Structure 1
């Protein structure tokens, strides 16, 4: 329920809003690292928080990542999430990390 002029004062269009949303989300969850210790490694709280965020706003992600969603959003979101999970996986299982 935002006035149109207020919206356009902050964003170019709905795609700009989405872009800024993604950037802010990625920054807040960027430190997806594994905490090393004597016990089995634990995933950092930022990754857990990201999954909780997705769960909390499941309706939004269902629409945006569904058949009628924005393909650019889906591509960027998927790429960033895969990168985060691979980073965690490679830290937990360095012997399985691809050698380039």
Structure 2
């Protein structure tokens, strides 16, 4: 399990190195409390940002988020990384999204 986490971290940071200095398209998103914000508001003072797209029905997505949650504090301490998880579920599934986010 530890090897899988290390591999996932290595792969994630390797992929991040290819996306440095790229601009994220400006898109409006809704938060769980129904507020709207724009992706241009993502800021982490030059530190890495990992954006994970997921869905409640996607078992690999849930597993990835759980794995990230296990190592997030260490990543945060070491790199200052910020993880932003964006659900692609539609509004009808909002009641399924909230428990996953709060877990």
Question: TM-score under structure 1 normalisation?
Answer: 0.31
Whose helix proportion is higher, 1 or 2? 1
